[in-house]
Structure 1
């Protein structure tokens, strides 16, 4: 789709630009600027004539930064859709809270909040005919020192949420945490999601500077006929290999 652009900013923050919207997920911080950067987030927000939608999946410091409330746009009001665990002042009229299993619809954009295996929610956003899923901290968090009971609880909890998500067929883009701190289990949640939901594209996140994760994850989910995105650096325009 010619109107679609996806930019990786940092950590779990992405910008999805569609025909009518600039959608920003889980802003944490701007990485150190490089002359080869392919996007300036501040300039993009300030100068776009498209509607700007800002999502934050939960209040952890690496997924939410209150600086988002200081963002300005020359051409219109920015709308914020935030997990209900995030606190903000009542004076911010363009902020909307959402909890698990709730749906929020505005300006032809539909947002459904699903659960998380950590804090907050995950988001399924439908805009301009594109279905975008941002997992937040939803993952199969399998740590090497988990007890059998902890492993069973997490596995069942995660699989239940994925089953609910799978009721929405034909998800186009998924942003999903592939966290190398999980060591040999870091791909477990992503592979299960790819096999169960079969989105068109899965984009890794939450991997710090370990960009090698992207190539390995892409190879692992190819057997499910799911395309994996390669991220090479911060402030990066993704080169998608399939059309949506």
Structure 2
């Protein structure tokens, strides 16, 4: 199984039988240029396209153009996209928190978010992969009063507690490590892996600040978790699982 980092929170997972694209909004070089358009869309086998919510850095309606050249493609999208982006109901399988999509290749369960939309727990080829979407401890501690950030933190901790009751261990976690949050920008990621132990942790939602994102590596490795450096758009993590 291979993992490809596109940009921001966008990833591609390559299995032996399928291609899974998550939260695409730009390709690896520019909005429509890079490894996805040059190679991945030409790959044989079934393709699944997942989007966690309607925000422009997680969803791009151009994904529906891919079906013009790709026959076997399934869209699994958060229900807020249908409402906010006026996408036809018959264009996708729509998920709300607690709902699932299943077929012979993949199972996708929707968990909650601390912003809008959902997060994804994907099961395929005997592996579990969690993509957080905008689920994070968006605490803004340096700007918000204590009562406010503690309220928001509780909402986050309650959500990961729900996930942990179903999955105490996850093979691969893709999770926001966003330096815009200030001094404790890694707080949500630390809390997540303290409660749910992944085999591999990859940061996301850091735009182009790779240095800040990779500071999480030391904490993850100290917990016995594999956390390879992420260094550029279009990076391929071979044999990630």
Deviation readout 1:139-187 (Å, 9 max, x if unpaired)? 0011111112211211110001111111213311111010010111110
User: CA–CA distance in 2 between the matches of 1:31 and 1:53?
Assistant: 18
Structure 2: gaps spanning 5 or more residues: none
Instruction: State whether residues 48 and 73 of structure 1, in contact with CA within 8 Å, keep that contact through their aligned partners in structure 2.
Output: no
User: CA–CA distance in 1 between the matches of 2:69 and 2:149?
Assistant: 49
1:79 alignment partner, one of 74, 81, 94: 74
SS in 2 for 1:23: strand
Root-mean-square deviation (Å) = 1.8
1:171 lines up with 2:155 in the alignment: no
User: CA–CA distance in 2 between the matches of 1:175 and 1:46?
Assistant: 22
User: CA–CA distance in 1 between the matches of 2:236 and 2:51?
Assistant: 21
SS in 2 for 1:213: helix
Other-structure match for 2:111 = 114
1:161 lines up with 2:159 in the alignment: yes
Other-structure match for 1:217 = 216
Deviation readout 1:86-140 (Å, 9 max, x if unpaired)? 0211452xx1000001112123311110000000000001011111100000000
Instruction: State whether residues 104 and 112 of structure 1, in contact with CA within 8 Å, keep that contact through their aligned partners in structure 2.
Output: yes
TM-score, structure 1 normalization:
0.90
Instruction: State whether residues 108 and 121 of structure 2, in contact with CA within 8 Å, keep that contact through their aligned partners in structure 1.
Output: yes
User: CA–CA distance in 2 between the matches of 1:85 and 1:183?
Assistant: 29
TM-score, structure 2 normalization:
0.91
User: By how many angstroms is 1:238 displaced?
Assistant: 2.1
2:24 alignment partner, one of 5, 12, 27: 27
SS in 2 for 1:201: strand
User: CA–CA distance in 2 between the matches of 1:197 and 1:84?
Assistant: 26
Other-structure match for 1:128 = 125
User: By how many angstroms is 1:235 displaced?
Assistant: 0.9
Change (3 A) 1:237 1:73: farther
Structure 1: gaps spanning 5 or more residues: none
Give the count of matched residue pairs.
233
SS in 2 for 1:157: helix
Q: Give 1:37-186 correspondences, 5 Å limit.
A: 40-72=35-67, 76-87=71-82, 88-92=87-91, 95-143=92-140, 144-167=142-165, 168-186=167-185
Instruction: State whether residues 48 and 75 of structure 1, in contact with CA within 8 Å, keep that contact through their aligned partners in structure 2.
Output: no
SS in 2 for 1:108: coil
User: By how many angstroms is 1:239 displaced?
Assistant: 5.1
User: By how many angstroms is 1:40 displaced?
Assistant: 1.4
